[in-house]
Structure 1
Amino acid sequence: MMFKKGMAWMVGTLFVCGSLLTGCGVKADVKTAPAKPVVTLDEGHWNPAVKAKLETLIAEGAFQGKKAVFDFDNTTICRDIGEATFAAMVEAGQLTLDGISRDITPSFVLGDKTVALDTVGSLPEFYEDFLSATKHQKGEKTPYANSYAWVVQILAGMTPDQILPYSEKAFGNNVAMQDSGAADLKETKINGYRMPFFYPEMVDLYGTLLKNGYEVYVCSASNIWTVRWMVRENLNKLLEAKYGKGIAIAPDHVIGVNVLLKDKRDGKLYKDQLLVRNNAKYAALDRAELSNYELTTQVVYPITGYFGKVANIIKYVTKERPYLIGGDSSNDLPMLDRAENRLWITRLEKMGYQKGLVEQMGDSLPGNWMIQPVLYKKSPGFVSTRAELDTRLAPKPSALEKTGKVAGFLEENGALKAF
């Protein structure tokens, strides 16, 4: 009996001290999960449901080394820097009809006309026709892939440092941001192509991901040197100004269409994604170093378009499903399908893209879809609600009618909610 009483006293003492030793100064080996950070994106013009979902997802996956991948043109920026750079080169006479290699440029029939460099009125006219060259084929899902390659191949003979001044001119230090002021403002263009600007909401999203421990990548179908310049010299400066030094995208985290480079010093051929990892000056866009590399006509495969984006993600980002991927077009749907969470930048002027989205949503891997409406022509920028859309495009009834039909289509098919 004495033994039992003693044991009872000891057990009682353990509980009085605080749940089995923890209250008696003896540390229990109990691991507690770190508290989730509070994540708040800037209000901007996010759709409220998308903003709330992103904040939750970012908090849940914070500081776990998760990957986020974003398209660049019409996703990170409004409009297309690759096309604007092409337009700037044509305007300056850097690219001409006579100067383009016929060996890499096919002639073809489009509708009832023959398209060739010798028959079109301008280089942009040929490019626009080439974008549609294979759309006549039943089942065509990747119509622009060859154009993505061609518009980089025609830069053969140039060096990367010769491309960048035209990218700088095409961007114009974010000057096209002024277009978002009102629907009746004249669109800022260069040689007929709309000049791009950064979506403020996307800049904030990049910064929020980075400061919460995510690895962030850009996967673009534009030429790599232009996109890397946009990231290094513009996006990173915006990020560091707001979030502090070191909050930036690494040079090798930017992936784009490229060709083999010939080093004029040794005659050897090089690939961009290896150079950017092994040559610090090249990665830093040092103009003197870039001038040593001449572009050839030989495309580095797989190109960063359609399913090629998936291949590049597997090769350079992760073999697992990325935590978050963002895109805006049919070019991005294959990589979006691989993501656990998908941010779709919904261009309300593009009904065809939204039909492709609805089809993809009905046949995709498990995962979240977040649909964020935007405008890229009149009154460009993110759009939070249908009421805001009506207000912004009120001066342009035809544009409002068109975009309203697109929004209605998405709502009817359950893609766009709380708008």
Structure 2
Amino acid sequence: MISRAARTILAGTFAGVLLLTASCSSGADDAAEPETADAAECASLDPDLVWYGDIRGRLDRMIAEYGECGDPGDVDEGAPLALFDWDNTVVKNDIGSATAYWMLRNDKILQPRDRDWTTTSRFLTPEAAAALSAACGTEVAPGAPLPTSSDVNCADEIVAVMDEETRSGLPAFAGYDHRRTKASYAWVVQLSAGRSMDEVEEFAIAAREESLAAPEGSTQVVGSTVVDGYVRYYPQIEDLVKTLHANGFDVRIISASAEPVVRVWARELGLPPERAMGVRPVVSEGILTGGLVGCGGVADGEDTVIPYVEGKRCQVNEVVYGIGGPAAFDPLPADRRHVFAAGDSVTDVTFLADATGERLVINRNNPELMCHAYDNSDGKWLITPMFLDPNERAEEPYPCASTAFTEPDGRAGPVVRADGTEIADQRDAVY
């Protein structure tokens, strides 16, 4: 594969030879044609879009180094791979939450099997299950829609549990591996149990239309809870995806939102369904069961792994590279890994670190991720404020040396580099 940089050098050399020849003839105008055609074919990032610091230049150099002018590539055919998280990386706000809020306001969530909320997640605490039962009642038959558009108590309790606590402040989930799943994220997907894939896609389309039409910065009320009311694509990321495609990259999404929802939103970027990965619901006879597709040797339906932290690496290795069993949790050799990655939170830290070229971090003040990004031990981490409504500077240093890392059991600990050395506390400088 000839990189864009190599093509540029060759084009310049060829043009120089032609110009030298042209000095002895009358064909000087023809000499510029190869270089002009090559420059037009090889896209670079839009200079009219604002990037922080030297990030645009760094990304353009990476694209020139690894890319090849032409159509979107395929990693199976040797194309460089670029991976993006979705929520708050490609877009502002969360499309999984937006879809769930739309479902709540339109009575699309169904009464659980046996009217028992513990059937919706193995990690739901007894206290959360009891709170949901008390708020949503048992009058509605299993599989029938809950009247969450009018039942404020039921809607409020579901929204609270989505945020990991009951309305009374009790933990909603427990007992899961915090490096391989986030039970609340999984639960948002599991709330679609009993629906067909076509229905979930229809809900996502409706929520997308509503979220894009809502004024920038707006909120909405679900039950009596005020939540985000809009979503926006980041123009800089749209342009980056377009430019990567034009330079032969294989661009894919790896998200902790529901895969059918991500695929609806990814169409805007020209990504076919198989290029958009997310939490994969188990489907039986066309209906979502509430179970989730496993990874890394975990059986389907066990619900212990989603694309979250190490689970993102697992799904990329399994789906993109065909690595099965527990080996999917291990990093591939550098020459087989993705060149570029972009993310914004702890859910992205593992697949970001796996990227062999540049790593773009949208600063949302997530301690563990920002510890790695600011430590920048290999010089490949690029930090940008959010492109829309950026966070203010974190007032205190990120506690990298003490509590910024989340252990599998949920305990806090120090953040370490790949070589096992601890990262010192880091101050927030890009905001």
TM range (shorter): 0.5 to 0.7
- Map of 1:187 onto structure 2: 218
- Map of 1:145 onto structure 2: 182
| Alignment map for 1:202-221 (pairs within 5 Å) | 202-221=237-256
Aligned CA distance change for structure 1 residues 359 and 119 (closer, same or farther; 3 Å): farther
Q: In structure 2, how many angstroms separate the alpha carbons of the residues matched to 1:174 and 1:114?
A: 30
Q: Is the 8 A contact 1:88 1:190 kept in 2?
A: no
Q: Equivalent pairs: percent with the same residue? A: 24
Number of paired residues? Answer: 306
Q: Is the 8 A contact 2:43 2:243 kept in 1?
A: no
CA-to-partner distance for each residue in 1:51-84, whole Å, 9 max, x for gaps?
A: 2211111111112710000001110111000011
- Map of 1:324 onto structure 2: 340
- Map of 1:360 onto structure 2: 372
Aligned CA distance change for structure 1 residues 372 and 409 (closer, same or farther; 3 Å): same
1:177 Cα deviation (Å)?
A: 7.4
- State TM-score, norm by structure 2: 0.62
What stretches of structure 2 of length at least 5 have no aligned partner?
Answer: 1-20, 22-37, 69-77, 136-152, 296-305, 322-331, 400-424
1:403 aligned to 2:392?
A: yes
- Map of 1:266 onto structure 2: none
| Alignment map for 1:293-312 (pairs within 5 Å) | 293-302=286-295, 303-312=306-315
Aligned CA distance change for structure 1 residues 178 and 251 (closer, same or farther; 3 Å): same
- Map of 1:254 onto structure 2: 276
Aligned CA distance change for structure 1 residues 212 and 301 (closer, same or farther; 3 Å): same
Residue identity in the other structure for 1:62: G
1:413 aligned to 2:426?
A: yes
Q: In structure 2, how many angstroms separate the alpha carbons of the residues matched to 1:308 and 1:136?
A: 18
- Map of 1:161 onto structure 2: 198
1:339 aligned to 2:355?
A: yes
1:116 Cα deviation (Å)?
A: 3.3
Larger radius of gyration between Structure 1 and Structure 2 = 1
Aligned CA distance change for structure 1 residues 133 and 176 (closer, same or farther; 3 Å): farther
1:363 Cα deviation (Å)?
A: 7.7
Residue identity in the other structure for 2:392: T
1:78 aligned to 2:92?
A: yes
Q: Is the 8 A contact 2:164 2:172 kept in 1?
A: no
Q: Is the 8 A contact 1:261 1:296 kept in 2?
A: yes
1:129 aligned to 2:129?
A: no
- State TM-score, norm by structure 1: 0.63
Q: Is the 8 A contact 1:222 1:257 kept in 2?
A: yes
Higher relative contact order (CA 8 A, sep 6+): 1
Which residue among 90, 97, 103 is the counterpart of 1:89? 103
Higher mean alpha-carbon deviation, 252-261 vs 170-179, is at 170-179
CA-to-partner distance for each residue in 1:18-64, whole Å, 9 max, x for gaps?
A: xxxxx9xxxxxxxxxxx894623343231132122111111111127
- Map of 2:44 onto structure 1: 39
Q: Is the 8 A contact 1:176 1:188 kept in 2?
A: no
- Map of 2:29 onto structure 1: none
Q: In structure 1, how many angstroms separate the alpha carbons of the residues matched to 2:183 and 2:339?
A: 29
Q: In structure 1, how many angstroms separate the alpha carbons of the residues matched to 2:188 and 2:427?
A: 37
Partner-residue secondary structure (3-state), 1:405: coil
Q: In structure 2, how many angstroms separate the alpha carbons of the residues matched to 1:100 and 1:41?
A: 53
